[in-house]
Amino acid sequence: MKQQWQRMAEMNPFFGITSWPEFEDSAQLDTAYFWDIGRIHAHNLLQKVPLRHLNHLSMVEIGCGVGRMTHFFAECFAQVTAMDISREMITRARDFWGHLEHVRFIEGNGADLKPVADSDIDFVFSFYVLNHVTNPEVVLGYVRETGRVLKDGGHALLHMRVRDLPDWSQARLRSKLRRIGRPLSQQLWWNEGIVRREREMKTDLIGHFSEFDAWHGCEVPWPDLINTLRESGLDTLWVDIAEMGQTKFVFLVLRKQAA
C-alpha cells in the first residue's frame, strides 16, 4: 500500500487525492482552486464536531496528502501533526506548507500513528483516506490508534467505507449499537459551497490508478467497527451514512471516554 501510494503521488498527487477531472493535468493545475476546495471540505466537516477553543487544541490529520486541508487546520489549531504514508506526498506538503511552524509533517508507516504519544492529542481527523486502506484490520487498527492518542474527552472525525450495516428500523439493534441512531442524511453535505468545474477526462490516468489495490481500498464490517470503537473507549456522538452507488461511506464523530 505504501509503495502504491508513492507511485500514485509521483504520477499525479492532486488527482490521487481528489480523483476529480479538474486536476487530471498537473501541467495546468489551478492550485488556488485545489487549496480552496480543501478549505471548504475541512470547514464543512469541522461543523459536525463539538470542538471549542480550537486555537488551544492539538490535532492529528491521517492522510494529509500535499496539505490540501492542512493549511486550513493550521489556521484553526495550536498544533497540527499531518501524516501520510507516501514520502512524495509529505515532501510536496513540506514544499508548499513547510513555513507553517506549528505543523509537523510525518511520513507514516501505513499501520499506526507512531510517533504520536499516548493521550496527547485533542482531535483526530481523517477524510477520504481510510477508504483507500486495503485491509479492514488495518483500518480498525487506525481506530484503535485514535483511541490511544486521544486525551480523555478528546474528539475524532473518521470517514471510511463499511458493509454489513444493520436494519436501522429494529430498535433492538439500535440499542446494541450504543446510542448510534439512524443516519441523519445521505446528502453530499461536505461538498456544500464548492463550485465544480466539470469536464471530461482527457487521458487514461484513472485507468492507471485503478491498477492499484490502494485506489480501490476496502470495506469494514460494521459489527467489527462497533466492537473496535467500544474496545478503544470511543463513544459515538454522531453518525452519517452516505450511499454513492453500491458504496456506503460512514462518517463518525467520536469522543474518548474519561478513564
Predicted pLDDT of residue 168: 57
The strand ranges marked E within the chain are: 58-62, 79-84, 103-107, 121-126, 150-163, 220-221, 234-244, 247-256
Cα gap 127→123, rounded to integer Å: 13
Amino acid sitting at position 34 = F
Which residues lie below 8 Å from residue 211, measured CB to CB, with a gap of 6+? none
CA distance 145 to 118: 9
C-alpha 108/C-alpha 86 separation (Å) is 8
Give the separation between CA 76 and CA 70, rounded to whole angstroms. 10
What is the pLDDT, as a whole number, of residue 159?
97
What average pLDDT values come out for the chain (259 residues) when binned by 10 residues?
Answer: 96 95 90 97 96 97 98 98 98 98 96 96 98 97 98 98 75 43 59 88 92 96 95 93 83 93
Q: Quote the pLDDT of residue 243.
A: 79
Sorted by where each starts, the structural domains of the chain and their CATH numbers stand as: 2-256 (3.40.50.150)
Instruction: Output the CA angle 28-30-195, nearest 5 degrees.
Output: 125
User: 71, 35 in Cβ contact below 8 A?
Assistant: yes
Pairwise CA distance, residues 128 & 92, whole Å: 19
Supply the pLDDT for residue 165. Answer: 82
pTM: 0.92
Residue 27, C-beta contacts closer than 8 angstroms, at least 6 positions apart:
none
Burial of 179 (0-12, 13-18, 19+ CB in 10 A): exposed
Q: What is the pLDDT of residue 242?
A: 83
Alpha carbon distance 12, 209 (integer Å): 10
